[in-house]
Amino acid sequence: MGVIEIKGLTKYYGKVKALDDVNLTIEPNKIYGLLGRNGAGKTTLLNLLTNKIFPTKGDITIDGHTVFENDELLGRMFYMTEKNLYPEGLRVKEIFKWTQEFYPSFDMDHANTLCEKFGLNANKRIKNLSTGYKSILKIITALASNADIMLFDEPVLGLDANSRDMFYRELLASYNRHLKTIIISTHLIEEVDEILEEVIIIKKGRVILTRSLERLLSSAYMVYGQCHKVDQYISNRKYTGEQTMGGFKSAIVMEDTRDEALAQKLGLEFGMVELQKLFIALTNS
Amino acid sequence: MNNILKVIKYQLRDFRIGLIIFYGIISAIVVMVTISFKNLSNNPNVSVTFSGFGMATVIFIFIVGLSCFRDSFKFMQANNVSRKSFFIGNGITLISVAALMAIVEAILDNTLRHLFPYKGLFQQLYRSNSSVADFLWSFGLYAFFISLGWFITMVYYRSNKLMKTVVSLIPVFIIILLVVINNLTGGALGQGLVSLSASALGFNNGFNAYIAVLSFWVATAVLLGVGFLLIRRMPVKE
């Protein structure tokens, strides 16, 4: 199955609280977006999930078994870190060979095909790769690992638009070939919102929202029109993310039902809210 | 267990090139010394004795210990290997390399003695030609030095900038402190330390290499034990 349960997870770095009593259930075979502003605690959470660091308090289990120093469970996860953990002197093909040792399902043919697609020379040493190609190496290794749970921390760092697009397509293809749990931490929300099923929003170390993308987007809507009329519409309603331009204004109303009659009377229009705008609205302040 | 074997395989591959180069150099020196000896032995006025390979091995194995932690630890973390598996795999590899080099050392000592007047480190210190004792002593010595190198790198990796400075300065402070105390006690501390070292190395009542073997293994066990405590919750750093 592969249900990841996070209970009461707290992490301090010295006196700084990076994560504060995080409780989460990550269901198997879904694509999660882990969203948050800089320093919100996204990387800390991913690092804790894979034992790169250890919690001050709390526990992480997969199917009821603790992840702490558990080779079997750790071997079911592949974590593409933002950092480079590969020896600089090794060649790309050697990285693949050794990853295959630790991930027996590693698909060498697929890795070589991806190298061709991304234009990565498998004979190059890590130290001779640019930042973008180091990211590509980690992406290819992750995608070819065929792990049940894949975690990506800022996977498209340093990639050009073409490579980013190819990554999203290959990620979806990998997911469709073999269902798996995927967690992507990224700031490029507009780019990933089409592939996400679930969204986790983290703010100042606390999870403030965890919901399916569909439910999240249907739980809010945009209203726009003349300023004073929008003000009239949103008064007594829960709203956020106001934006004014000239005499016009838009706002995100945090309700799932729209007051069509009132909007018609005021001459306002409705629109679907975008994940990025909702995210900005939820994480501002 | 599976991951432990994989860690051993990776580490041995990592050591392979270093070992080949080291023994390649040693072999070249042996050939040169043999040729030199053949030439010198024709001259009745010259008497020569060769030594020093043992010390070279000690330095080499210490450097191997120093260089084998950081990259391997990060690479194993990239592959989600638990720290426990990494520690056990690494420990087995270090001890195996120490054993391998001790076997080579014992064979080398025995062989070189027949080629030219040669005294290995063990023969010089313990005045014994026993190959078994030579192997056991070298094994303990190398296990200690490779573990020491590994431990030092681990301490540095674990430490933040301030701790690194503190750890680097501690030996200097200890030396200064010992010199001061030695002066204050009229040399008694120095004599005590020499006596302690002599006892640990088996020099107090004759030449007992097996006491030194025991001392090396106790020290190795302490280093590995503290090393395990250090690695248990060691965070990954770039």
Give CA–CA dist A177/A125, Å, rounded.
30
Can you tell me whether residue B131 is helix, strand or coil?
helix
pLDDT at A1 over 70: no
B124–chain A nearest CA distance, Å: 40
Give CA–CA dist A178/B65, Å, rounded.
42
What is the predicted pLDDT for the residue at A207?
A: 95
Contact B79 A99 (CB under 8 A): yes
Give CA–CA dist B210/B202, Å, rounded.
7
Smallest Cβ–Cβ distance between B74 and the set A77, A78, A85 belongs to A85
Chain B CB contacts of A140 below 8 Å: none
B43–chain A nearest CA distance, Å: 50
What Rg value do the Cα atoms of chain B yield, rounded?
21
For A214-231, what is the mean pLDDT? 92
In this predicted model, which residue has the larger pLDDT, A285 or B137?
B137
pLDDT at A130 over 90: yes
Chain A CB contacts of B3 below 8 Å: 71, 75, 102
Residue A5: CB partners within 8 Å, gap ≥ 6? A24, A25, A26, A59, A60, A61, A62, A64
Could you tell me the CA-to-CA distances from B232 to A32, A78, A212, A264 in Å, in that order?
A: 30, 21, 37, 65
**Beta-bridge partners for A206:** A203
Other beta carbons within 10 Å of A118 = 20
The answer to whether the CB of B146 falls within 8 A of the CB of B77 is no
The number of C-beta contacts closer than 8 angstroms across A and B is: 60
Can you tell me whether residue B127 is helix, strand or coil?
coil
Chain B CB contacts of A79 below 8 Å: 80
Smallest Cβ–Cβ distance between A50 and the set B9, B71, B80 belongs to B80
Residues A266-282: tens digit of each pLDDT: 999 999 888 988 898 88
Residues A153-165: tens digit of each pLDDT: 999 988 999 999 9
For A201-214, what is the mean pLDDT? 93
Other beta carbons within 10 Å of A57 = 13
Q: Which of residues 45-84 of A touch B (CB under 8 A)?
A: 47, 50-54, 69-71, 74-75, 77-79, 81, 83-84
For A131-144, what is the mean pLDDT? 96
Burial of A264 (0-12, 13-18, 19+ CB in 10 A): exposed
Chain B CB contacts of A78 below 8 Å: 80
Contact B85 A79 (CB under 8 A): no
Point out the residues of chain B with pLDDT beneath 50.
none
ipTM given for this complex: 0.89
Give CA–CA dist B7/B4, Å, rounded.
5
What is the predicted pLDDT for the residue at A285?
A: 63
Contact B236 A47 (CB under 8 A): yes
B85–chain A nearest CA distance, Å: 8
- Interface residue ranges in chain B relative to chain A, Cβ cutoff 8 Å: 2-3, 6, 9-10, 71, 74-75, 77-85, 233, 235-236, 238
